[in-house]
Structures are given as structure tokens and as C-alpha cells.
Amino acid sequence: MTHPPTLDATAHKAAQARLYDDHLLDDLAAGAGTFGFAKPKLIRDLAFERWLRRLELQPGQTVLDVGCNAGARLEQLRREFQTVGTGIDLSPASIAAGQRRFPALSLQTGDAEALPFPDATFDAAISFETFEHVPDPARVLAEMARIVRPGGRLLVYAISRRNALTWHWWLMKLSGGRLGCGALGDHQPELLVRPEVINGAARELGLVQLGRAPFHSFFTILYDEVVMHALSQLLLAVQPRRVEDSRTMALAAAGDRPVRPSWRFRLYRRWLAVVAGLTTLVDLPWRLLGLSDGVFWLFAKSTASGQGQS
């Protein structure tokens, strides 16, 4: 478990913290987290929901989100499954925003490569779009395995280096590297995750793989990043008052259950499910070759003594 040879890990982590202090990723103004799974915006949101349900969480179980931003995903889980959420992130500003917005969660700053929790603390651990930002993703997986109880589950979604011919790959090639590296330009090619590294680390840790799948190859991510961006901008231009009203209502929402979205969003969810099915189907050639922008992994920690410990 080593860092890329040209990377100053300390400087990199400091730069990441500054970047996400300036750019809060969770859209708190739109009620992120408070709707549970009821208000997806992207095909990605539907995919995240499917994999999160595979954790089979029960009321009262504890979940750690590694790279939680402001904690919106933990709030989703709390409202859907009545879980107890803990989140860790490098960005103090993101954590502060989450502490104000989600008082039921326990959020703190910290390093994913050295989680500040005792062994076997949580029933499950998740990490979405974080492994590609850390110098040593295998170390992060080891830390997640350490803090999960025997029999617990780990869910990871990471941006993959095995991305030839995908939408982002073409963007990078055609733009000379100016596009296709994340909305904030925060995906460094040398840090994109090698799937074989995660697979190998999981075997060494004694984790049982329950599922693995490529995601976001071409047409699915084209819809999420191009079509939805255009639709969002059009909506803001045509109906700015209605959008702002929905955001205000979402901010005022409180409680322990998912907020019910308007009929428009419920209708959009049906449309999105159809689009997701069609675009996933035409993405099949990439998926058969194992080429994608990202990869999901679902693991279980062995109940045998000492398995999953770093």
C-alpha cells in the first residue's frame, strides 16, 4: 500500500480540503438527504439507491460514510431505514454545513486512511466517489474493514482507471485533457482507481465479495452530465420562482421520515427509471468489456476472528 511516487500525500490532502471547503457538493438548498430516495435527479441516484438497499440495513444500525461531504447520503439512510449515521470528511466547511443541516448525524473531519474509530465499531461502512481522491485507496478499504463489525457490509463506488472509450475518456482525448476530469477538475488521472487493486486488497483482507459492477460508461453518464445539466438550466431560466420555492420548502423540512416530493418529481422519477433502463441497455458493450467511469463493490466482513483487520 503505497502512494504514487510523484505525489506529496500531505500537500494533496490539504489541497483537497481547500477545494471542497470552497465547493460544497451536497445540494443542501435543494433538500439533499431530506427526501430519502424519493427525489432522484440523475441515473446515478437510482444506481446508488439500488446498491444502498443491498446493505440490508435495519433500524438502529450504525453506518459510517467515508468522504461524506455534508452528510446528505447518511441523512437519506437515516430517513429510509432509521439508521444511526456517522460521517468523516477532510473538508471542515462541508462538515460544518452538515452539522448545521443534519443535527441527528455525527459528522467530523478526519483522514480516510486513518479512521479515528476503534475496531468493529459500525454495522456498515460506505464510501462514494472518494477512493479516487486518496493517495492509497487500498489503505482506505483496510480501514473500512477494520472499523466494521464481523458480518457487516462495506459498499464502495469509485471512479475507475479502466475507462477507455467511455464518455469521460472521449472528453479528455478530444479536449487535450481540459475536460472529462470531474466538474471541479478534481480527478487526477494518476489517482483514478485500478479495479484490480481493490479486488486484490479485498482478498488480502478476507472480505467476501457480494457484488461488483461497472457503471456510467457512455450513454448513462451522457444523460446525467449533459442532458440533465441542460434541463436544469432551462428550468431555472423558465421558472426561477418555482425552483426557489421548492428549495425553500426543502430547507424547512424536518423529521425522521423522507419528505414526500411534489407530483412533478414523482412523475420525473418514472421518466428517469425508463431512461436509466434504455441507456443502461445501450451501455452494454462497454460493460461487457469492463469499461466504465466507475465501479461498485459490495463486500461482507467475515465472521471469522481477525478477518478484515489491517
Tens of pLDDT, residues 215-245: 999 999 999 999 998 888 887 777 655 544 4
Q: Is residue 152 part of a domain?
A: yes
Q: Is residue 307 part of a domain?
A: no
CATH assignment at residue 108: 3.40.50.150
Domain span holding position 46: 9-300
* Count of structural domains within the chain: 1
pLDDT of amino acid 305: 44
Tell me the per-residue pLDDT of 271-296, one tens digit each, with 9 for 90 and over: 999 999 999 999 999 999 999 999 99
Q: Is residue 305 part of a domain?
A: no
305 or 155, higher pLDDT: 155
What's the rounded Cα separation, in Å, for the pair 81 and 257? 9
- Any idea which residue has 475518456 for its cell? 169
Q: Is residue 309 part of a domain?
A: no
**pTM to 2 decimals?**
0.91
* pLDDT higher than 70, residue 78: yes
Q: Is residue 306 part of a domain?
A: no
What's the rounded Cα separation, in Å, for the pair 44 and 52? 12
Secondary structure of 111-150 as H, E, C letters: CCCCCCCCCCCEEEEEEECCHHHCCCHHHHHHHHHHHEEE
> What are the Cα distances from residue 310, in Å, to 42, 85, 165, 195, 287?
36, 23, 36, 20, 32
Q: Is residue 3 part of a domain?
A: no
* pLDDT higher than 70, residue 67: yes
Q: Is residue 247 part of a domain?
A: yes
Secondary structure of 165-189 as H, E, C letters: CCHHHHHHHHHCCCCCCCCCCCCCH
User: What's the burial of 261, exposed, middle or buried (CB within 10 Å: 0-12/13-18/19+)?
Assistant: buried
What's the rounded Cα separation, in Å, for the pair 309 and 230? 46
Q: Report, in this order, helix, strand and coil percent for the chain, each rounded to 5.
A: 45, 15, 35
The residue among 131, 79, 128, 126 whose CA lies nearest residue 105 is 79
Q: Is residue 58 part of a domain?
A: yes
